[in-house]
A and B are shown apart, each in its own frame.
Chain A
Amino acid sequence: MTKLIKSGAYAQDVYARVADDAPLPEGPVLVSLARFQKERDTLLARNTAVGIKLQASENPELLGADVNHFALIALEFPKFRDGRAFSWARMLRTRLGYTGEIRAVGDFLYDQVNYQHRVGFDAWEVPDHFTIEMFNRALTEMTNVYQPSTDGRITIRQLRAAARKS
């Protein structure tokens, strides 16, 4: 059973992970890009949510116009040092206009959660010891930010401008 934090709370993972060669079960499924590309029509014809898991090397633009068919896009961190998914999440939320769930999966650290949150992730598959308190702390260690990002947070530059006007 995976531990999931979504929209700031523990959540139930409703998606069944399906190996590329396993039969599709009933209900929501999470498949690889390879499987999706092979069985696109079948998957989209099912009357249930489809999630896709992208490897760090898989650019979300590969999904083309299909991107908004997915209720879940899981972005894999193969190793916490591999930061490509930060740019993929950003791209999904802005260029591709994706509004569904973006979930961080794989090997990432407590110390990366805040950055993930900023670029557009809204769900995290976390290890057992990872609590909601840790999650909330990770998001609040740094009060302000210098850069505009996907989260639309007010930047320090905007705060300064506002302070000058008041």
Chain B
Amino acid sequence: MLNTLNQPLAKPRQPNMYRYDEFDAQFVNERVEQFAGQVARRLSGELTEDQFKPLRLMNGLYLQLHAYMLRIAVPYGTLSSRQMRKLAHLARTYDKGFGHFTTRTNLQFHWARLVDVPAMLRELASVEMLCIQTSGNCVRNVTADQFAGATDEEIEDPRPLCEIIRQWSSLHPEFVFLARKFKIAVGACEQDRAAMQWHDMAVQVVKNAEGRIGYLVMAGGGMGRTPYVAHVMNEFVEREDILAYLEAVLRVYNQDSRRDNIHKQRIKILINTIGPEEMRRRVAREFDELKRMGTLQLPKEELDRIAAYFKAPDFETGLSDEMPDAGPDFANWVKTNIHKHKAPGYAIATITLKTPGQIPGDASAAQMDAIADLMDQYSLGEVRVSHEQNLILPHVRKKDLPAIYAKLKELDFASPNAGLITDIIACPGLDYCDLANARSIPIAQKIAKRFEDLDRQHQIGELKIKISGCINACGHHHAGHIGILGVDKKGVEFYQLLLGGSGAEDSSIGTIMGPGFGEHEIADAVERVVNVYLAERKDGERFLDTYRRIGMEKFKAAAYQEAAAA
């Protein structure tokens, strides 16, 4: 079946996105050779593992349970078909034929060999990709709203700012040995699809009372063992000042953060220790100085120059805005996986990498190649990665949707479950990660299978389950409507339930229900919690709304009562 899809088109389409110029290309190539030198020094024994560790981490290379893991940056989640094909090629050549899309919109290979890494990096550089700062205590890959440039909800496309931040933060001499990692997200509308308030720093494009575009800056959000949602640092930073403001925040963080306890070194701890008011005062002092110096001011020409790369495509006009009729399965998929596009006759289509039974976020080389073909054929050569570990075709004509749906069905990627209970975020967990206390993937698979029935999923409606295999919270369990945290109790995996979290514009921290459930009880417990919601909900309420209205008690009673009886 897949063979028909694997025929490459005559010519891949180049979407409107940032392209390297000679300076970017030279920068990345030199960085690859620099890292190749570091790998050689490690292989020869000149560098100890302890010395090599921060260097490899700054280039996205982890040492995991079974092998090295290489994390590739997908800047602000935007990929061209050419890049997607390269990722497929790397999966086939250097991994076991799979890649894993992460909650930071990156792609990981879990079976890399150290000796191969320089070659992998050279191949990536050839398609303008890199691994710089995808790990380590530095500014990480900038993420964005996955519907950027396609939705009519935004003030403007946030990606030009993302690209400006990417360049400014690449090997920034002052900020590559921060106290901890530093994650930045950018959005441009009321709706928050990028979990912005959970980031170390977030920038939201806003308009002030005079109608001028500028940026609202938040800082101090974060998951991990001490979850916080971010505080507003500045409600309106002028466009030309934004890099100065971001540098000011980072400078205060680098200077004032604790360094004596790895669990208390994120910016969220600093801000919540000294208080947001004091943080704003310290940042303002640095900001004033940076503005006076003027070296980081962003000229309008530079913003315009970068924005030109992301110019909206020439959308076809005169298309019908009607949704085609292609049967009930298709209609179900449209209901959940299609979002309104800004151009009439177009749609934004979400491909959930969450077919029940599948590993959330995983794609095989053949699937990646096939998606690249769909990108070229139907989405102007472009795809986006979301923090919910899905792929998005941002610019598709409505009339093409039935054909796209048919091909996704062949790929086993046509689940009509975006935003539903089986669209689960899960970290790699103990199957791969040496930090994990428990497995996440089998739990995600088990729950997805339990709720596989489509009518039931649609009846339940929007419900976000997020699963982490340890307290580090890579699976965003604090932000799940239902969060699941894997813990280890004397060598046995247990799973705690959290209710009431959100990673959207109504962000909130989930509350732990109580003691954990065993591996074989957790799907039952989730089901009982969902049943309480179905019995209690009022018209139009999502799970989260019902929880916020009635609180934990009834959910908890149901979850444990029957667990005790079982």
B20-28, B368-376, B388-396, B521-529 - the one binding chain A: B20-28
Q: Cα distance A116–B175 when bound, in Å?
A: 11
Whether the pair B26, A157 counts as a contact (CB closer than 8 A) is no
Taking CB atoms, residues of chain B closer than 8 Å to A34 are none
- B177 contacts A by Cβ under 8 Å: yes
The reply to whether A109 and B171 contact each other, CB–CB distance below 8 Å, is no
Q: Is B255 an interface residue (CB 8 A)?
A: yes
Q: Mark A142-166, 1 if CB is under 8 A from B, else 0.
A: 1111111100000011011100000
The minimal Cβ–Cβ distance linking A108 to chain B, given in whole angstroms, is 9
Chain A contacts for B254, CB-based, 8 A: 83-84, 86-87
> With A and B bound together, what is the CA distance between A147 and B171 in angstroms?
9
Write the chain B residue with the least CB distance to A82. Answer: B259
State A90–B286 Cα separation when bound (angstroms). 12
Contact-size category for B = 35 or more
Q: Which A residues from 52 to 109 make CB contacts under 8 A with B?
A: 56-57, 59, 80-84, 86-88, 90-91, 94-95, 109
Which of A142, A157, A161 contacts B27 (CB under 8 A)?
A: A142
Give the docked Cα–Cα distance between A157 and B168 (Å).
10
B171 touches A145 (CB 8 A): yes
Looking across the interface, which residue of chain A has its beta carbon closest to that of B293?
A94
Q: Which of B240-292 contact A (CB under 8 A)?
A: 251, 254-255, 259, 289
Contact with A along B179-191 (1 / 0, CB 8 A): 1000000000000
Stretch at the interface among B30-38, B119-127, B444-452: B30-38
A88, A109, A118, A143: the one contacting B26 at CB < 8 Å is A143
Q: Out of A111, A148, A160, which one reaches B55, CB within 8 Å?
A: A111
**Are A59 and B255 within 8 A (Cβ)?**
yes
B12 at the interface (CB under 8 A from A): no
A161 → B minimal CB distance (Å): 8
B296 within 8 A of A: yes
In the docked arrangement, what's the CA distance between A114 and B30, Å? 14
Q: Would you call B23 and A159 a contact (CB within 8 A)?
A: yes
Q: Are B251 and A87 in contact (CB under 8 A)?
A: yes
Asked whether A147 lies within 8 Å of B172 as measured between CB atoms, the reply is yes
Of all chain A residues, the one with the shortest Cβ separation from B22 is A163
- Chief secondary structure at chain B's binding surface: helix
Tell me how many residue pairs across A and B have CB atoms closer than 8 Å: 97
B54 touches A81 (CB 8 A): yes
Partner pick for B30 among A109, A143, A146, A157, CB 8 A cutoff: A143
In contact, A114 and B173 (Cβ under 8 angstroms):
yes
Give the chain B neighbours of A145 by CB distance below 8 A.
171, 173
What chain B residues lie within 8 Å of A57 (beta carbons)? 259
Asked if residues B38 and A111 are in contact (CB atoms below 8 Å), the reply is: yes
Contact B21 A160 (CB under 8 A): yes
A163 CB, min distance to chain B CBs, angstroms = 9
Chain A: CB-nearest residue to B137 = A81
Contact B289 A95 (CB under 8 A): yes
Q: Which residues in window 110-157 of A have CB below 8 A to B?
A: 111-112, 114-116, 118-119, 141-149, 156-157
Cβ of A34 to closest chain B Cβ, rounded Å: 19
Encode B38-58 as 1/0 by CB contact (under 8 A) with A.
100000000000010011000
The winner among A112, A115, A147 for most chain B CB atoms within 10 A is: A147
Contact across chains for B177 and A148 when beta carbons are under 8 A apart: no
User: What residues on B are CB-neighbors of A91 within 8 Å?
Assistant: 255
Contacts A82-B259, A115-B171, A144-B27 supplied; 5 other A-B pairs, CB < 8 Å: A81-B137, A83-B137, A86-B174, A115-B174, A147-B173
Task: Report B's interface with A, CB cutoff 8 A.
Answer: 21, 23-24, 26-27, 30-31, 33-34, 37-38, 51, 54-55, 137, 167-168, 170-179, 251, 254-255, 259, 289, 293, 295-296, 301-302, 305
Contact surface of A with B, Cβ cutoff 8 Å: 56-57, 59, 80-84, 86-88, 90-91, 94-95, 109, 111-112, 114-116, 118-119, 141-149, 156-157, 159-161
- Pairs of residues from A and B, 9 with the lowest C-beta to C-beta distance, nearest first: A83-B177, A118-B173, A148-B295, A115-B173, A156-B23, A86-B174, A146-B167, A141-B34, A87-B254
